[in-house]
Chains A and B, each alone.
Chain A
């Protein structure tokens, strides 16, 4: 489908390089031609485009390539930078038949093409229930009321002037991530099976600071958070959590929140299901019991096999997925390969990730690299020499509470298959001898 490792554009051998600077449009054409050409690389062989005939010099070296011979684009060609044109397929994707309306739908993070642990702002999955609200920063207001001494109204400037600003990295996972997979392997790509997650550095003020300013009544036990979008999204959050580590955030990865992530202000509820991280946050109300809103009764409750339902299942359990290889990122060459994936836990810090290449029979502990922070994504690698055999690739995350990511069978044994939410079972990718990779279940 989308091959991201495109070879550089080749110039016809012997073509005399023009002395005049190639026009911008010509350069664009060359770039696009490169993208269109694709690169079907036969496993075991070598790239046809990259490989010169035995003994012949590589045409990417001799003659000197265009991009070396001519001046490139000026510094401010894109005042707000863009990815390389060769990465144009690395985008969020929607599965349009999943929902009746694109305003109440989801667009998934292309996990298969990402590395490290921080999700680029433009690739963070998007879930709206009433479309994307556009709020002028000057008109933004946040109200705190209910069981407080002083009901208060804040402007965006007030929040940005508040003492005690912090920076924290957290994952945000939709409780319905992998929800399509409860009854069996369905979607062919980790973008779709696991792409309702992102991991960002947030800048904001502890929610506690604002609640303390309003003065919470000792009888207050819950906080209702409400958005200003056309869904007027609401969730009840236990006061204890609100006081512990929730943030009122106005920046992601150092810049203002993107509109689709709740500009100008969203709630950050570390380790807990994404639906609670109310975007376009307009109101916080303190009360002595939960409000039983639609998103905590009809939705975001977990129906078990016996017909009963768990509610207030806020915490996201430890989970992991191999992003490479995966259906959208097949193996291309025998020999050295870097297998990689991500792990996270809403209960704490990822301490270990094991990988299996034989469907869970035998395991090897993967290498964690980069920061391993609580309630934040952790990256793992397995440097692997592939002989071209079929693989059943899995990963199994563990966190510092001792929780071990269960298999799908273990999960179904407790929860049945109608839960929709909180599917953190171990994912299996089948890698065939030709490198093609598919979402499968094993037993």
Chain B
């Protein structure tokens, strides 16, 4: 049964398209198979497995699809809340560390602690500088986050947890100013605004780099992994701390994320 599906797949690959009209074609030539790119093969596999008819991902044709309607400017404004690292998306407004402290104590401190130290298991927002190489890194706005814009964006979008999107622009600027102050990034008398936002750099920004697994982990691509006598005697070196599925099991080391 599965064999025949493989054949069908091969046929589709041979045809070089997922338009499965050639589904009845016999075994593929090895050369043709090799010529097909991995992407094509992947497409063909999925397409053939679900027996998608020809044209599944073919362009819908020249005539535009008469679905959807233009988005109104007011509608875009209502949802367009994202703020980018270069400050694009920041609304007009400003707020001081002092105002922020007040707001933070009212709206945030029950979970995050008065100084952002985190109450119980709620996230820690301040401190942790110099811990990233340690066994127990503490990732906070000051120690880890690359961009201050993310604080503005996230606090406005998702906080306070349970009543998100309730803070005004001025209130959000003030709370962000307070969080930056808690992390020793701006002085106590600082007033954060759309205008001076781009002046705030976070210390860990330079320590992020794009995914490099294909080079740094090249060794994980290997043609003939060892099958016999791959190591000496193998011993158990560690056992799971038995997890009681019940909530009172010992909290393990480390975070979910």
Contact = CB atoms under 8 A, between A and B. Distances in A.
B208 A186 contact: no
Interface residues of A, number: 127
Nearest to A152: B68
A360 interface: yes
Contact of A299 (B219, B231, B257): B257
B71 A151 contact: yes
Interface in B82-133: 82-86, 111, 120-123, 132-133
Given A161-B67, A231-B158, A297-B145, A441 B208 contact: no
Interface in B137-189: 137, 139, 141, 144-147, 149-150, 153-154, 157-158, 161-162, 164-165
B30 interface: no
A130 B164 contact: yes
Interface string A123-153: 0000001100000000000011100001111
B24 interface: no
A267 interface: no
Nearest to A231: B158
Contacts of B251: 97
Given A209-B65, A308-B209, A404-B225, A95 B243 contact: yes
Interface of B: 2, 5, 38-39, 41-43, 45-46, 49-50, 52, 55-60, 64-65, 67-71, 75-76, 79-86, 111, 120-123, 132-133, 135, 137, 139, 141, 144-147, 149-150, 153-154, 157-158, 161-162, 164-165, 207-213, 216-217, 219-223, 225-232, 234-243, 245, 247-249, 251-257
The 9 closest A-B pairs by CB, nearest first: A359-B234, A439-B240, A151-B71, A374-B42, A100-B121, A96-B247, A294-B154, A441-B238, A307-B132
A349 B39 CA distance: 11
A224 interface: yes
Contact of A401 (B60, B149, B221): B221
Nearest to B210: A312
A188 B252 CA distance: 12
Residue in B149, B154, B231, B240 with the greatest tally of chain A CB atoms within 10 Å: B240
A381 interface: no
A66 to B, nearest CB: 33
B84 A287 contact: yes
A173 interface: no
B243 A192 contact: yes
A402 interface: yes
Contact of A361 (B56, B212, B231): B231
Given A404-B221, A443-B234, A104 B161 contact: yes
Contacts of B165: 232
B210 A310 contact: yes
Contacts of A294: 150, 153-154, 158
